[in-house]
Amino acid sequence: MRICHATTFYPNRYGHTHYTDALIAAMRRHRPERHFIAAEFGSDFADTEAYHCVPCFGRDLDYVEPIVDVARGFRADLVIVQYTDDLFGHDGRLPRLLRRLREAGIATLVNAHSVYPQSHRRAYSPGHDAGHLDRALASEASSLMVHTARMRQELLDRGVPADKVAVIPHGTYVVPALDPVESRRRVGVAEDAKVILFFGFIWLGKGLDFLLEVFARVARQVPAAQLLVGGTTFNDALYARAYLAYLRARTFQLRIARRTRLWGDYVPDELVPSVFSAADVVAFPYRQDYSSVSGVLHQAVGLGRPVVCSRIAKFEEVAEQIAEELLVGPRDLEGWTRQLVRLLSDDDYAMAASKRAWRFAGRTSWDVVALEQLRLCDSLLAGKTPPAAGN
C-alpha cells in the first residue's frame, strides 16, 4: 500500500508536522513500507528510507492540481489529508481536491482534527456554513476520520452518512518521565518547586489570562508553587506581541511575576520532555466552542503528568478515560484553585491521577493508533465500509 500524506511538514512548526511524523514512524513499525508526503511550501524536500517529501502547495493558493500531480507521481493508492481549516481552508478547494483524486483512482481519508458547530460561518458555497462543507467533504472523500465519538455524532447530526465516519483517537507517545529535579534545573525553575505547566501556542482562546488569576490564588495556599508557561504566540504579529506584553504585565499586577516563568519562544523539540517532566500538573484552561482533541494533552499523559482541563468538548476524553473531577468550568476560579491545590498538596491523589493518565496513554499509544489507521486504510482500498469507532 502506497500512502501519501497531504500536510505541512518539517521544519514548519505546526501540530500536523509532529502528528504526521509520529504516525508514519508508528505505521512503519507495523509495516516497514515507505511513505510519501505532498507537503506545504516551507517544508523541506526529503528523500529518506522512511518517507519521500515533496513541497508542492500553498495554503493561500489553489492547491488542487499540484497535490493531484504529486500524488500521481508517487503512484499513491491512498491520500491521507491532515485537515484543519487553517491549512486547507474552508472553501471549495478541498472538496474539489478529493473529487480530483477520486477521478485519478486514488482513495482519500480526511483526518478532520476539529468539528465546528454546523452553523459556523464558512466560505464554502452553497450554504456558507460548516454543515454544508462537512457534507461535501463526506460526499467526495472515501472516508472521514475524527478522534472522538462526540465529533462523529456531530457530523451525523448534520447529515453525514454513518458509514463515512470512523473514530480513531489521537496518538500518544508513551515514555518514562525524566528526573524532575534535573528537568527543573534545565528549564529554569526552582528544583524544589511545585510546578503548574501551561504548554503550547498562546492565543486568547487558550485562557492563559484566566490561569494567571487562578495561579495567584494557588500561590497563596501553596508557598512552593510556580507557574511555567512553555511556548509563545502562533506568529509575531503586533496583536500577538501586545498580548504577550499584557500577560507579562498581568503577572506583576497579580504579584506573581517572581513565581512565573514565561518562556516567550518556541520550546525546542529536544527540550519538551524536560518541560513536561518538570511539572507536577499540566493545566488546560481553554475556552474553545468546537469539538476537537488536544495534542498537548496527549503529550502530558504520555509522560504520566496529572492534568486539569476546562469542561469543554475538547477534553471529554479526560472525563471518560481519566477522571470526571479533573474537568472544571472554564470560568470557575474557585474550582480551578481547589483542584490545582489538591494535586500540588496531596501526593496520594496526584499519584492516582498520574496512574490513570498512564493507562489512558497506553490505550492511545501511537502503535495502537497507527494499527487502527492501517486497518482503516485497508478497508477503504478493499471497498469495504470503514469501522465506525475505535479505542
- Residue 68, pLDDT score: 98
Q: How far apart are CA 302 and CA 102, in angstroms?
A: 37
What pLDDT is stored for residue 391 in this prediction?
40
Same domain, yes or no: 255 and 273: yes
Q: Report yes or no on 388 lying in a domain.
A: no
145 and 190 part of one domain: no
In degrees, to the nearest 5, what angle opens at C-alpha 139 toward C-alphas 99 and 58?
A: 45
Task: Please tell me whether residues 252 and 356 are part of one structural domain.
Answer: yes
In a domain, 387, yes or no: no
Task: Classify residue 249: in a domain, yes or no.
Answer: yes
Adjacent-strand bridge partners of 308: 283
pLDDT value at position 31? 97
- What is the tally of structural domains in the chain? 2
Residues 92, 193, single domain; the answer is: no
Report whether pLDDT(313) > 80.
Answer: yes
DSSP secondary structure string for all residues of 90-151 = SSSHHHHHHHHHHHTT-EEEEEESEE--TTSB-S-TTT-BHHHHHHHHHHHSSEEEESSHHH
Is pLDDT of 266 > 90? no
- Supply the range of the domain harboring residue 269: 180-363
Beta-bridge partner residues of 82: 111
Q: What is the pLDDT of residues 277-291, one digit of tens each?
A: 999 999 999 998 899
Backbone dihedral angles phi then psi of residue 166, each to the nearest 5 degrees = -110, 150
| Within a domain: 386 | no
Q: What is the CATH number of the domain that holds 294?
A: 3.40.50.2000
Contact 279, 195 (CB under 8 A): yes
Question: Residue ranges of the alpha helices (H) in the chain?
Answer: 15-30, 64-73, 85-88, 93-103, 130-140, 149-157, 180-187, 208-221, 238-253, 272-277, 295-302, 316-321, 333-345, 347-363, 366-381
Are 15 and 46 contacting, i.e. CB atoms less than 8 angstroms apart?
Answer: no
Strands 46-47 and 51-57: antiparallel
| Residue 154 shares a structural domain with residue 238 | no
Ramachandran bin of 343, using left for φ above 0, alpha for ψ from -120 to 50, beta for the remaining angles: alpha
Is the distance from CB of 20 to CB of 111 less than 8 angstroms? no
Q: Is this structure's pTM higher than 0.95?
A: no
Question: Given a cut of 90, is residue 232 above it in pLDDT?
Answer: no
Residues 82 and 34 in one domain: yes
In a domain? residue 311:
yes
- Domain check: are 55 and 101 in the same one? yes
Whether 81 maps to a domain, the answer reads yes
With bands split at pLDDT 50, 70 and 90, how would you rate the model's confidence at 385?
A: low
Q: What is the CA radius of gyration of the chain?
A: 21
In a domain, 389, yes or no: no
Decide if pLDDT at 240 tops 90. no
Q: What is the dihedral of CA 376, 381, 384, 386, to 10 degrees?
A: 20
Q: Position 338: which residue type? A: R
Kindly report, residue by residue over 172-188, the tens digit of the pLDDT. Answer: 999 988 999 999 999 99
DSSP notation for 146-168:
ESSHHHHHHHHHTT--GGGEEE-
Q: Residues 315, 297, 201, 8: is their CA dihedral positive or negative?
A: negative
Q: Which percentage of the chain shows pLDDT scores above 70?
A: 97
- Do the domain assignments include residue 356? yes
Q: What is the pLDDT of residues 23-46, one digit of tens each?
A: 999 999 999 999 999 999 999 999
What's the average model confidence in pLDDT over 56-84? Answer: 98
